Chains A and B, each alone.
Chain A
Amino acid sequence: MTGTARPQRHRPAASALRGLIGAAVLLAAVEGLTRAELVNPATLPPASAILTTTGRILLDPEFLTSVGGTLLAWAIGMLIAAAMAVPLGVLLGSSRRSYLAATMAIEFLRPIPSVALIPLVILLRGRGLDFKVILIVYASVWPILFNTIYGMRDVDPQARETARAYGLNRIAILWRISLRAASPFIYTGVRISAGIALILAISAELIAGGGPGIGTWMIANSQAGVPREFLYAGIVVSGLLGVAINRLMVAGEHRLFAWHHRVRGSGS
């Protein structure tokens, strides 16, 4: 994913202002379209109505429980994915032969679309929390695995040789040199997965339920009789949640890995 972590060379205040203006223009356009009844307000409610409803559901304990349910599945899934992908990536990235064999095995497994597993997981595990978690793990393992392998192969061989010359054993070299050098790449993988995992969690809830969550809440609130604003407010919250998670992860990246050339932006 490019384009998200680019350092802003120009005045950040000016570009933030332009962003605000852009968003305001879009909101005004939606508002105008519905107020002028060019679009049926029953289909697309005015932006102001959507925003007030968004504010209201953010104070609604029932909705907040749903957000909590989605985030819980997200967090568990991410933890399991990282716990699986990082050690595997370290192993596969350390030797050329295992790397070749692994990339080919991955090449065959990765094209299987994550949502295609939804029916299978429902048949095997039912529709509980583990249903969501399994799907999240499947989708978020790949970016972490790829980036870990990539990071391990990017470790400067000279640094490793130097450490060996100083008498460090294999474990110490792995821990103090290789993992440390690969950590920015691993983090990038986790950051990419975080966004994918959230989208997949809500998608799975929308398609098949699976305990309390934003998606199940949206399904319940898209039935006849419930004003459309609620569905749109749910969409707005899930979009904002994705943006917020990405922002946090990018901020963490800049804080943790300011020393690394990829974050500093001098290398490509």
Chain B
Amino acid sequence: MSVAGGDAATRPGVAGLGVWLGGVGLRLSVLIGMAVTWQLVTTLVDDPVNWPTFVDVIGRFWDSWASDPDAWLRSLAPSLGRLLAGWFGAVIVGVALGSLIGLSAVARHSVGPIIQFLRAIPPPALLPLFIVLLGIGDAMKVAMILFGAIWPVLLNTVDGVSSVEPLHRETGRVYRIGVRDELTRIVLPSAAPKIFAGLRMSLSIAVIMMVISEMVATVNGVGFELVQAQRSFRNLDVWATIVLLGIIGYVLNAMLAAVEGYVLGWHRGAMRTRS
């Protein structure tokens, strides 16, 4: 479901740099347009406590986050650390389990309903359980992020692995390439586009889970700052922290898209020659 993923503007094509610059220009003008609209609407509404202007929010964002290295160390670093630990955990476990399940129809049918059920549980519902099992430290938060983020990776890996062209696997077997090579050279590469689609979904869920886990039982992190700001009615700080979370999500997403473009470069090329 990569609706916004295949944007033509960032793909190096014939007109390469010019198209890319045009894309950046368009992005910038859209961003500026949104900022101006925000500024105009909030100025007209004239309710600075509830609906602060764009300039006010960005000012506060600059003061309390962007220009304050202390806030980076105190809040941002622990948050990002837990986020990445949980997400990488979800990726490793999800791809490994997904490959195992995807390779066997019996396994797929046996655990299918369990996966559907577990995936439908709202992750915060498991918070009390995780607290009892793991305490309220970092382990609990990483586990929450992992539990929330694993499903898209797992399901997409199962889907990608189970729909590998059987002829490709059989050809590999005829050449006696061994199980490990079959997995790393045939199965996983051909499942990679689907796996990456799952990675992208799971990354945005991981950001959500990071915030949730920090909202409930914690002493630091961006989610904690957000709840503190709300409890002490610092509305402007709430807005500034939301901006920060948006930027975190955007940057992480862009980084993953870059990795995806690099890893799946062969796939796009192959698809283009085919069509």
Contacts and interface: CB of A to CB of B under 8 A. Distances in A.
A113 B4 CA distance: 18
Contact of A2 (B156, B207, B239): B156
B121 A239 contact: yes
Interface in B119-162: 119-129, 132-133, 152, 155-156, 158-159
Interface of A: 1-4, 6, 10, 14-16, 18-23, 25-26, 43-44, 100-101, 103-120, 122-124, 146-147, 149-150, 195, 198-200, 202-203, 206-207, 215, 218, 222, 231, 234-235, 238-243, 246
Interface stretch (B63-71, B110-118, B180-188, B261-269): B110-118
Interface in B245-266: 245-250, 252-253
Contacts of A101: 26, 30
A195 B121 CA distance: 10
Contact of A242 (B3, B110, B121, B158): B121
B156 A3 contact: yes
Contacts of B155: 1-4
User: Secondary structure of the A side of the interface?
Assistant: helix
A101 to B, nearest CB: 5
Contacts of A112: 242, 245-246, 249
B118 A15 contact: no
Q: Max chain B CB contacts within 10 Å: which of A114, A120, A222, A240?
A: A120
Contact of A10 (B30, B50, B105, B121): B105
B120 A195 contact: yes
A29 to B, nearest CB: 11
A235 B126 contact: yes
Contact of B125 (A19, A108, A238): A238
Contact of B121 (A18, A115, A123, A238): A238
Contact of A203 (B120, B123, B229, B250): B123
A19 B113 contact: yes
Contacts of A206: 122, 124-125, 127
B215 A4 contact: no
Q: Max chain B CB contacts within 10 Å: which of A118, A147, A149, A215?
A: A118
A116 B242 contact: yes
Contacts of B158: 3
A203 B124 contact: yes
A123 B233 contact: yes
Contact of B30 (A16, A104, A150): A104
Contacts of B127: 206
Contact of A119 (B111, B116, B230): B230
